[in-house]
Amino acid sequence: MGALSVNLCGIELDNPIIPASGTFGYGYEFAELYDINVLGTFSFKGTTRQPRFGNPTPRIAECTAGMINAVGLQNPGVDKVISEELPKLAKFFDKKVMANVGGFSIEEYAETCRMLDACEQVGWLEVNISCPNVHGGGMSFGTDPNGAAEVVKAVKAVTTKPVIVKLSPNVTDIVSIAKACEAAGADSISLINTLLGMRISLKTKKPIIANTMGGFSGDAIFPVALRMVYQVAGAVKIPVVGMGGVSSAEDVIEMMLAGATAVEVGAANLVNPYVCKEIIEQLPAVMDKYGVKTLGEIIGGAH
218 part of a folded domain: yes
15 part of a folded domain: yes
Tens of pLDDT along the chain (303 residues) come to 689 999 999 999 999 999 999 999 999 999 999 999 999 999 999 999 999 998 999 999 999 999 999 988 899 999 999 999 999 999 999 999 999 999 999 999 999 999 999 999 999 999 999 876 667 766 789 999 999 999 999 999 999 999 999 999 999 999 999 999 999 999 999 999 999 999 999 999 999 999 999 999 999 999 999 999 999 999 999 999 999 999 999 999 999 999 999 999 999 999 999 999 999 999 999 999 999 999 999 999 999
Would you state the pLDDT for residue 130? 86
303 part of a folded domain: no
CATH number for position 121: 3.20.20.70
1 part of a folded domain: no
Label the pairing between strands 6-8 and 11-13. Answer: antiparallel
Would you state the pLDDT for residue 22? 93
* Residue 79 structural domain: 6-298
Would you state the pLDDT for residue 19? 98
Nearest to 112 by CA among 171, 19, 50, 164: 50
Q: What is the C-alpha separation between 92 and 180, in angstroms, rounded?
A: 38
Would you state the pLDDT for residue 135? 74
| Torsions phi, psi for 148 (to 5 deg) | -60, -45
| Torsions phi, psi for 100 (to 5 deg) | -95, 130
Nearest to 169 by CA among 213, 209, 222, 207: 222
pTM > 0.85: yes
* Count of the separate structural domains present in the chain: 1
39 part of a folded domain: yes
Task: Output the CA angle 30-25-240, nearest 5 degrees.
Answer: 100
Q: What is the C-alpha separation between 100 and 24, in angstroms, rounded?
A: 12
Which residues are tagged catalytic?
A: 131
70 part of a folded domain: yes
CB-CB neighbours of 144 under 10 Å: 18
- CB of 240 closer than 8 Å to CB of 264: no
Would you state the pLDDT for residue 137? 67
